[in-house]
Structure 1
Amino acid sequence: MTFPGASADRADADYVVVGAPLDISTTFQPGARFGPDRIRRFAGSFEDYDRRTGRHFSELAVHDAGDVHAWTDAAEYVDYLVGTLRDAVDDDAVPLLLGGEHTVSVAGVRAVDADLFVCLDAHLDLRTAFDGDTWSHACVTNRALDAADAAVVVGARAGSEAEWERAGEADVTVVDPETVADRGAAAVVDAAETAVGDLAAATTYLSVDVDAADPGVAPGTGTMEPGGLSAREMEAVVRAVAPHADGFDAVEVNDRDDGQAATLAGHLLRAFVFAHAGRA
């Protein structure tokens, strides 16, 4: 199964889809291993044409490279995945990663050598370890900051006391759901600009953990948290950040709904490509 409209040959691709079905540290409802193919499947209902940009997805040189089969050592898997994604970067293509648990985002950050990690997420994910696991998906923002200089976490509303204290340090900015509802995507772009000084000169990686959405919008995810973003708010953020981004992922989709989470993730991947392809 390939992502609908991802019909370009690898040699001609401007965007390369890679599935990463890692699913070993989910802390509540497992099933993220089904995410990549589920996203591909539910993207089959979309129109090829995007009215906002006047573009057809099938004409934007997207290639689906399939999945990188996961195994049980997350650190080794991430290292291997970095190489796969960096192959795309070295060919001047933008990696589009489909998870899988959020841990795989670390590979994307490393592959593009990101200065800034922008993440839509219900959780801060700033733990140094969870239940003794330093590669838990609950540690992904902390792990991303091993490589990136700064992180902007959009939609966060959950975290331990220690995580919220860590989020108060200079290299982390939280744009909470209330701020997104009040100021829209501009709040995220402003935060990103402040984080790196000159967003146009920075390398940025954009990650979407589907649990950033309110569970009523996307219940098919491992760790639901009420009070989240709307689908429209998430799309606005993705479209606003995409022109500045060098890589993208959609993660934490599982098989425990009727396709709502997968549909949203696939829609946001397409929104990213449309907006990125139209950058000045």
Structure 2
Amino acid sequence: MFPGATADRAAAAYVVVGAPLDRSTTFQPGARFGPDRIRRFAESFEDYDHHTDRHFSELGVHDAGDLRAWSDAAEYVDFLTGELTDAVDDGATPVLLGGEHTVTVAGVRAVDPDLFVCLDAHLDLRESFDGDPWSHACVTRRALDTADHAVIVGARAGSEAEWARAREDDVTVLPPETVAERGADAVREAMAAAVDLDAATTYLSVDVDAADPAVAPGTGTMEPGGLSAREIRDVVRAVAPDAAGVDAVEVNDRDDGQAATLAGALLRDFVFAHAGP
């Protein structure tokens, strides 16, 4: 159980679901261990958050456990979408623990957002990778099948075709340098330029590889030159009040818990900021 996620399902404001899909990682596999590691390394956190003067255990979080994954990604995403949609229909905010980034598509479909905000080292705008449209390298492209606009925060890698796709009107890229210079304000401005935040629905996805590998080495495809832990936490807290769902993905078992600790902290940050003071 995610620490502090003690609410009954029927009364939950937030529903945590683990999605240990691990089939298309192109470098270091192990994302199947992500949900368990995120829960385990979150055990060290204080229940109290001084930013909001709230206790996590009092915010109505329920942990529904993991949904066992299988090799057919499209079928699994459909199944996961149904489970997350049940939470949305019950008035709860889905909190998804990956698993490879492919599982994000289920969260996006369940929330049906106008805006997709993604912290990621990679553009993930390929139509397919090695003939597979359900590769983790295609997630933002699949998200744009549902959302009207994507804001990709921290991106610093992609193919030539992906960078060309990123120049189209429905994508905004904020590189690490922009976030380092202007912080979460740059993200808020990009969101407001893309949609009417007072009327739009937003989904937030956190690929832990958005962080510099020195911060979170336990991920599938590391890219140097990434965001600091503080920068990512500031962005998550800034986006959370407008988001109707969140995930943290691409945590694996190839470090001493740094990536899982960061992911767990970010999910807690999201809940605290989303719940408000």
Name the residue aligned to 1:231: 229
Q: Secondary structure at the match of 1:141?
A: helix
Between the aligned partners of 1:80 and 1:192, the Cα distance in structure 2 is 30
Name the residue aligned to 1:94: 93
Between the aligned partners of 1:94 and 1:180, the Cα distance in structure 2 is 27
Between the aligned partners of 1:200 and 1:220, the Cα distance in structure 2 is 37
Structure 1 residue ranges without an equivalent (≥5): none
Show CA shifts across 1:123-165 (max 9, x none). 0000011111110000000000001100000000000000000
Between the aligned partners of 2:58 and 2:155, the Cα distance in structure 1 is 35
Between the aligned partners of 1:222 and 1:173, the Cα distance in structure 2 is 24
Between the aligned partners of 1:171 and 1:41, the Cα distance in structure 2 is 38
Between the aligned partners of 1:251 and 1:9, the Cα distance in structure 2 is 25
Between the aligned partners of 2:231 and 2:197, the Cα distance in structure 1 is 21
Cα shift at 1:84: 0.3
Cα shift at 1:199: 1.0
Name the residue aligned to 2:266: 268
Matches within 5 A, 1:136-215: 136-196=135-195, 198-215=196-213
Between the aligned partners of 2:44 and 2:251, the Cα distance in structure 1 is 17
Between the aligned partners of 2:221 and 2:194, the Cα distance in structure 1 is 28
Structure 2 residue ranges without an equivalent (≥5): none
Identity, in percent, stands at 81
- Moved >6 Å (runs of 4+): none
Q: Secondary structure at the match of 2:117?
A: strand
Between the aligned partners of 2:211 and 2:22, the Cα distance in structure 1 is 20
Name the residue aligned to 1:84: 83
Q: Secondary structure at the match of 1:40?
A: helix
Name the residue aligned to 1:243: 241
Between the aligned partners of 2:199 and 2:3, the Cα distance in structure 1 is 32
Stretch moving more, 270-279 or 63-72: 270-279
Cα shift at 1:15: 0.2
Cα shift at 1:82: 0.5
Q: Does 1:5 align with 2:24?
A: no
Q: Secondary structure at the match of 1:83?
A: helix
Between the aligned partners of 1:113 and 1:219, the Cα distance in structure 2 is 32
Between the aligned partners of 1:58 and 1:97, the Cα distance in structure 2 is 18
Counterpart amino acid of 1:45? Answer: S
RMSD between aligned residues:
0.6
Show CA shifts across 1:148-183 (max 9, x none). 100000000000000000000000000110000010
Q: Does 1:255 align with 2:236?
A: no
Cα shift at 1:218: 0.1
Between the aligned partners of 1:22 and 1:194, the Cα distance in structure 2 is 34
**What TM-score comes out, normalization by structure 1 length?**
0.98
Between the aligned partners of 1:46 and 1:200, the Cα distance in structure 2 is 33
Q: Identify the match of residue 216 of structure 1 among 214, 217, 220.
A: 214
Q: Secondary structure at the match of 1:95?
A: strand
Name the residue aligned to 1:22: 21
Between the aligned partners of 2:43 and 2:66, the Cα distance in structure 1 is 18
Between the aligned partners of 1:252 and 1:265, the Cα distance in structure 2 is 9
